[in-house]
Amino acid sequence: MKKILFVDDEPNVLAAFQRQLRKQFSVETALGPQEGLAALQNSRDYAVVVADMRMPEMNGVEFLIKVKATAPDVVRMMLTGNADQNTAIEAINEGNIFRFLNKPCPPENLTLALEAGMRQHQLITAERELLENTLGGSIKVLAEILATADPKSFGHTGSLRNNIRLLAEFMKVGQTWELEAAAMLSHIGYVTIPPEVALKARVGHPLSVREHEMFQRIPAIGGNLLAQIPRLEEVSKIILYQNKRFDGAGFPEDKVMGSEIPLGARVLKILIDLAEIEAKGISRTIALEHLHCRPGWYDPDILEAVAACLHPESEEPADAVKPPLLVSFSNLRIGHLLVSDIQTKDGIMIVAAGNRITPPLIQRLRNFSSLSGIREPILVEAA
């Protein structure tokens, strides 16, 4: 059962709340803001937090701002005797509170407010469930199908998503599902490129003006496709602006620049360019130097974060890194992370390095194995 946390600097007030509400709700108390923040950091079982305004060390608004950063899904309320208009405005605008209640608050009014807060938390968590599981799962399946059908164009989105996760954790980005979804679907516009044109680009043959325009418009096509799907509007913006330079140059040709470019697009621009340089056999250290030699291309703060988070020197010492394993196709298992590409005996790449083996990929590999064979052994990351 989800709990309600009351935070006040008066022990008698907290005790009164527990006596009054314990039969209807699971109530816990915290004596002051520091104890309240510690409780929220140590447990995810809270649905509602109710804070007093006048407390030592930090007032109620300051406390609720920290609650929003620490536990954004928790519904925030304020119960105070300091009911001036400025306090209410500050609490609503800065703390994003759900209810503002005055002391003394009649028990029936407090009960109704807490019941509404519990329902609001259910709505928030249901939305999160929809986004992270239902919609996120659908995106994952779509990305796997695209990678299976065209590994050259879509085979590296798995490693891109992993780098997104590492960077988001390093930068302390709260909600990452939109960034991860954009990483997995960043190349979805490639589905409109004719196979013969895509092949010309891969082997380095010169492209006509019309063919070059096709590739330039890939982000716009991907953004337009996803903009039609509810709750993917922000993802579509990230994909639309993924090639936009920080100084405003590049596609799309508009006046958007700097911090006006969606955060996810600024992140993708760096990580995709980094991956393209590394794909040429250039080390990550040298690849990062290449990025630093492109003034105006990238958000400097994010570029520094990428260098600090994904630089080889920030990884484990060489003697602590386990060497990759050589496995036969028959010993390849769901969950294995590929260190090398998987190719047919004719040299056709089926799955790119950096991808994790999934049930659809296993089935695709079995089909290729029965028709033309698989090159063995296969390099996978050691567990």
Residues 328 and 309 in one domain: no
How many CB atoms neighbour CB 121 within 10 A? 19
Residue 101 has pLDDT above 70, yes or no: yes
* pLDDT confidence band for 91 (50 / 70 / 90): low
Highest mean pLDDT among 205-209, 299-303, 309-313 belongs to 299-303
**Rounded to an integer, what distance in angstroms lies between the CA atom of residue 5 and that of residue 376?**
58
Residue 296 has pLDDT above 90, yes or no: yes
Residue 319 has pLDDT above 60, yes or no: no
Residue 318 has pLDDT above 60, yes or no: no
Residues 214 and 261 in one domain: yes
pLDDT value at position 350?
Answer: 82
Number of domains making up the chain: 3
| Residue at a domain's end among 284, 315, 346 | 315
Q: Which of 145-154, 286-295, 338-347 has the lowest mean pLDDT?
A: 145-154
CA dihedral sign of residues 59, 60, 61, 64: positive
CATH number at residue 368: 3.90.105
Residues 231 and 177 in one domain: yes
Residue 322 has pLDDT above 50, yes or no: yes
pTM score of the predicted model: 0.62
* pLDDT confidence band for 86 (50 / 70 / 90): low
Give 210-269 pLDDT, tens digit per residue: 998 899 899 999 999 898 888 888 999 999 999 999 999 999 999 999 999 999 999 999
Percent of the chain with pLDDT over 90: 42
Residues 162 and 296 in one domain: yes
pLDDT value at position 61?
Answer: 87
Residue 358 has pLDDT above 60, yes or no: yes
Q: For residue 220, tell me if it sits in a domain.
A: yes
Strand 325-327 relative to strand 378-380: parallel, antiparallel, unpaired?
Answer: antiparallel
**155: containing domain:** 150-315
Whether the ω angle into residue 72 lies within 30 degrees of 0, i.e. cis, is no
Mean pLDDT value of segment 50-63: 89
Residue 280 has pLDDT above 50, yes or no: yes
Residues 159 and 279 in one domain: yes
Neighbouring C-alpha atoms within 13 Å toward the C-beta of 326: 3
Between 260 and 178, the higher pLDDT residue: 260
pLDDT value at position 47?
Answer: 95
pLDDT value at position 315?
Answer: 46
Residues 171 and 275 in one domain: yes
Residues 34 and 169 in one domain: no
Residues 177 and 286 in one domain: yes
CATH number at residue 96: 3.40.50.2300
